[in-house]
Chain A
Amino acid sequence: MLQNTDANTDLAVRSLDAICVNESRLEHKWYHNLKYLVVGIFFGIVFVKAEVISWYRIQEMFRLQSFHMYGIIGSAVITGMISVWLIKKFNVKTIYGELIRISPKAFNKGQIYGGLMFGLGWAMTGACPGPLFAQIGTGATVVGVTLLSAIAGTWVYGRIREKLPH
């Protein structure tokens, strides 16, 4: 059996169909992850307060009945673009002194087929993966079923990945 001990092999597998791969080589104690928990909490609060997790706002977006979601996504992208540009321009390092790296992504047909499928699901559930977690947090326990179904969808994708056009 092939062992996944080689770090490069492992990164290659993790990079499959994932635009966001963690490339840090540093090893930390588990509690260093608590800072991501804090960022997540801040993020979840913004999600709820700006009604990003609202089914109604998503319906308005896809019916061109409100500028709200377009304004949020647009200004988030512009903020992100300026940030990434500044990080690259000034070779900003992480708080651990590591050089920041963002992996580029190649085109494959999955971005079209999968993108369309996700779009259909997004308008049905009124939530992309992030808002699912926040919606459950707001007490909508039944959304836990939607989340489990999304996990099942990811699992089935992994199971039949080789048979799909990419």
Chain B
Amino acid sequence: MIEFLKQPWAWYVAGPLIGLTVPILLIIGNKSFGISSSLRHICASCMPANIPFFKYDWKKEVWNLFFVLGIFLGGAIAINLLSNPAPMEVNPELAGELTRYGITDYRSLIPQDIINWQSLFTIKGFLLMVVGGFLVGFGTRYAGGCTSGHAIMGLSNLQLPSLIATGCFMIGGFIMANLILPLILSL
């Protein structure tokens, strides 16, 4: 059983499990699934700085912080108890492209050749981690949600704004991955 769980899980197993989070959170406490809001609650609890956007009773949304703490712990449990020792299998076309940028290490889920503490102090690493992270935090709040809130929860509830937001997430991602990222990775 454990050996079975250690293999990478297929999309048709993982997708429905992720989708089930929607009714589970609704049924155990009327919570709408969303993750990027946790970043806002962290701002509201740690540094509201008298900004109206952060002046609300964040304790009413504290469940969301427990949820993301759980995601963190889940990551730790999966990697320590259920991890698959084989390197990641990626599309040969992608692997070929990444080799040109010096990305050859597939032992981890993230490319350790470019995402590591030393590279953080290079322009490439700074752009990928710090600027990229900033865009994720700024963009999700500006859009009112992320992949979970808009693409999964919003679409589950047939919300047109969520469909528009999800379309824009994809457009932004396609532009970055195909047009801009090759330039950044060449740095």
Contacts and interface: CB of A to CB of B under 8 A. Distances in A.
Q: Do A and B bind each other?
A: yes
Interface in B24-75: 24-40, 42-43, 47, 49, 51-57, 60-64, 66-75
B168 to A, nearest CB: 3
B109 A119 contact: no
Interface size class of B (residues with CB under 8 A): 35 or more
Contacts of B146: 118, 128-130
Interface in A17-65: 17-24, 26, 30, 32-63, 65
Interface in B56-101: 56-57, 60-64, 66-79, 82-83, 88, 90-91, 93-94, 98
B14 to A, nearest CB: 3
Contacts of A41: 70-71, 73-74, 77
Interface string B118-153: 001000000111111111111111111111111111
B136 A151 contact: no
Given A79-B20, A118-B169, A120-B172, A51 B145 contact: no
Nearest to A74: B15
B63 A62 contact: no
Contacts of B77: 41, 44-45, 137
A80 B143 contact: no
Contact of B158 (A16, A68, A81, A154): A81
Nearest to A141: B117
A159 to B, nearest CB: 6
Given A72-B11, A94-B27, A153-B138, A48 B144 contact: no
A42 B41 CA distance: 22
Interface string A3-27: 0100000100110111111111010
A16 to B, nearest CB: 6
